[in-house]
Chains A and B, each alone.
Chain A
Amino acid sequence: MRLFKNVITRMILERVMLGILTLFAVSVLIFAATSILPGDAATAVLGQGATPETVKAYREELGLDRPAIVRYGDWLAGVVQGDLGTSLTTRQPISDSVIPRFENTLFLAGFAALIAVPLAIGLGIIAAINEGRLVDRVANIVSLGAISVPEFFVAYLLILFFAVKLGLFPTLATVFPEMGFFDRLYVTILPVIALIMIVTAHMLRMTRSAVLSVLSQPYIEMAFLKGLRRRSVIMQHALPNAAAPIISVVALNLAYLIVGVVVIEVVFVYPGLGQYMVDAVSKRDLPVVQGCALLFAATFVAVNALADILSVAINPRLRRSRH
């Protein structure tokens, strides 16, 4: 198989294929979990009091009387063309309401990640270099606190101090399409700070242990023994090798960002995908839940694939070990 001479091109193609395959499996899982179940959508929407005739008519209207495999095929064909189906409660096309909300969520999560990722990597490296010293211990205790408390605790504390007591920022992050970029930034500052705190804490701890595990390698000891200064051992010998584990740490922690974003959106009543999904779950609007779940999962899978590709691109040694 010398189809792709360039190792990186082949690797990227393999990784993208794997991502698509995973996503396909995930779509089956999402569909199966919401469709092949006793309480189906018709009874969920009409409630317990509906007569069998209305349920039957509604089932036919929704196409629920067809076999699950056929419905899955239709759903998947729609999804591939960007059509997520129709909401059971509003009777509107799901894609129309999902896309602006997804953009809002990406804005919030992206804004948080933009600050959290460099901050966490920097602090994690500083903590690892000063292992056991005061800086490290303070970072350890503060980050342990931040990963232990629930997201809404951080959010409510921020609201209490910065919005209510000091009156600096609004308590709710209300955004609308016509809003200017800087107004948007101002309104979303508190939810973004909450997300940054949670994600940074997780990422910092894992970055620290990734750097420490590289620092315990024999070639690092060798570099010290041949008389190099600590700074240059870390900058030139340790960090290039720690890059790959750090990238996978970052990707892994974007999962916390996804979970965090759902709760934070609800706290701040931010019109994003997370709040939309929670709303749909409590109304049991299954097609909307499926669509939102698929979008969240796709984002997650894409981020992980990107991280794998990046880490191989950065560290040439990983290119050979994969077959």
Chain B
Amino acid sequence: MKSSLQRPPLTAIIGLVIVATFLLLAIFGSYIAPYSEFETVGETWAPSSAEFLLGTDNLGRDILSRIIIGAQMTIGIAVTCTMLSFVIGTVVGLAASVASNVVDQIFSRSVDILLSIPVLIFALIVLSAFGSSMPVLILTIALIDAPRVFRVARALAMNVRNLEFVETAWLRGESRWWLMTREILPNILPPMISEFGLRFCFNFLIVAGLSFLGLGIQPPSADWGGMVRENGQAITFGISAPIWPALAIGLVTIGINLVVDWVLSMNARPSGASAEL
């Protein structure tokens, strides 16, 4: 498998190109977009033309521009959720791995209960209670995702926790925090990074799904899930307006999955089972 280190496979290159393109759009989108996000520039649901490459939406706004500008909001929220859930999940997971058995059991059993509610249903419960706003949305998704990160982090940390160098550090009197951050964390980082990609995809799809249901990011901000919702009815007239933002969502997720597959195949082969967890 040495060759895979030197030259990434075609699928990985495609993935990297997709991810890089959308990252650029997310950062510089408002400079690239031909039209504004809010302005009505054409008729309702105009077909694609040289003027409007992907046509216009239900209010006559340029779909391409809204996809380009919406990249920032759509991707940004999912990244924020995932980072938050990783901080929470990893800290608690590492803590559980170095804590006493009782504490570990309490954490693990509570997580089992949290995991027995399907994600979307959980999100709907919380959003119905708090109403949908940006901070609520981000916190909800992060808190729903954190137990899943906890599971992975704890399982990986448990493998490292019993190795000699951790035992040595414990015996020479280092604190639990030292064990977590200096001994265990650096050793579980590579698999955690590919896990980050997978969790991001998952959160990205959930946020898009909630926006599609009208419970995520609120209009008039351009976001891809909301754009699909606003243009949903066009499909019955054979107009492909809702297809484009949905395709953008799919492309981002496919791109990241391709990259993660490649990273996993490099990481997993030499050390065997570690990435399987």
Given A149-B247, A156-B235, 13 new contacts (CB under 8 A) = A29-B117, A39-B129, A144-B257, A148-B253, A150-B246, A150-B250, A153-B249, A263-B213, A278-B215, A281-B124, A290-B125, A296-B121, A300-B117
Residue-wise, chain A 246-271 has the 8 Å CB interface mask toward B (1 for contact) of 00000000010011001100110000
Residues in B whose Cβ lies below 8 Å from that of A315? none
Of A33, A150, A159, A286, most buried by chain B (CB within 10 Å of CB) is: A150
Chain B contacts for A39, CB-based, 8 A: 129-131
CA distance A213 to B11 in the complex (A): 24
Q: Is B40 an interface residue (CB 8 A)?
A: no
Interface residues of B in 117-137 (CB under 8 A from A): 117-122, 124-131
B residues with CB within 8 A of A: 11, 112-114, 116-122, 124-131, 201, 205, 208-209, 212-215, 225, 228, 232, 235-238, 240, 242-243, 246-247, 249-250, 253-254, 257-258, 261, 276
The answer to the question of A108 belonging to the interface, with a C-beta cut-off of 8 Å to chain B, is no
A144 touches B254 (CB 8 A): yes
CA distance A156 to B212 in the complex (A): 13
Minimum CB–CB distance from B215 to chain A (whole Å) comes to: 6
Q: Do residues B124 and A148 form an inter-chain contact, with CB atoms below 8 A?
A: no
> Is the Cβ of A289 less than 8 Å from the Cβ of B128?
yes
Interface residue SS majority, chain B? helix
Distance (Å) between the CB of A25 and the closest chain B CB? Answer: 5
Confirm or deny: A282 has a beta carbon within 8 angstroms of a beta carbon on chain B: yes
- Does A297 have its Cβ within 8 Å of any Cβ on chain B? yes
Asked whether A301 is an interface residue with its Cβ less than 8 Å from the other chain, the reply is: yes
Residues of the B chain whose Cβ atoms lie less than 8 Å from the Cβ of A297: 116-118, 121
Q: Report which residue of A26, A153, A289, A300 has the largest number of chain B beta carbons within 10 angstroms of its beta carbon.
A: A153
A-B contact pairs, 21 of them (CB 8 A): A26-B117, A29-B114, A37-B129, A39-B131, A141-B11, A144-B257, A149-B254, A153-B247, A156-B242, A159-B235, A160-B243, A163-B236, A171-B235, A259-B121, A277-B121, A277-B124, A278-B215, A284-B131, A289-B128, A297-B117, A297-B118
- Asked whether any CB of chain B lies closer than 8 Å to the CB of A104, the reply is no
Task: Please give me the residue from chain B that is nearest to A41 by CB atom.
Answer: B129
Name A's interface SS: helix
Q: Digit string of A153-171 for contact with B (CB within 8 Å is 1, else 0)?
A: 1001101100111000001
* Chain A residues, CB < 8 A from B214: 278, 282
| A117–B124 CA distance with the chains assembled, in angstroms | 27
A150 contact set on B, CB distance < 8 A = 205, 208-209, 212, 225, 228, 246, 249-250
Asked if B228 and A152 sit within 8 Å, CB to CB, the answer is yes
In the complex, the answer to whether B213 meets A34 with C-beta atoms within 8 Å is no
Known: A150-B208, A160-B235, A160-B238. Contact between A26 and B128, CB under 8 A? no
Taking a contact as CB atoms closer than 8 A, the residue among A30, A149, A262, A281 that contacts B249 in the complex is A149
User: Does A22 reach chain B (CB closer than 8 Å)?
Assistant: yes
Docked Cα-Cα span, A267 to B242, in Å, equals 12
Chain B CB within 8 A of A280 CB: yes
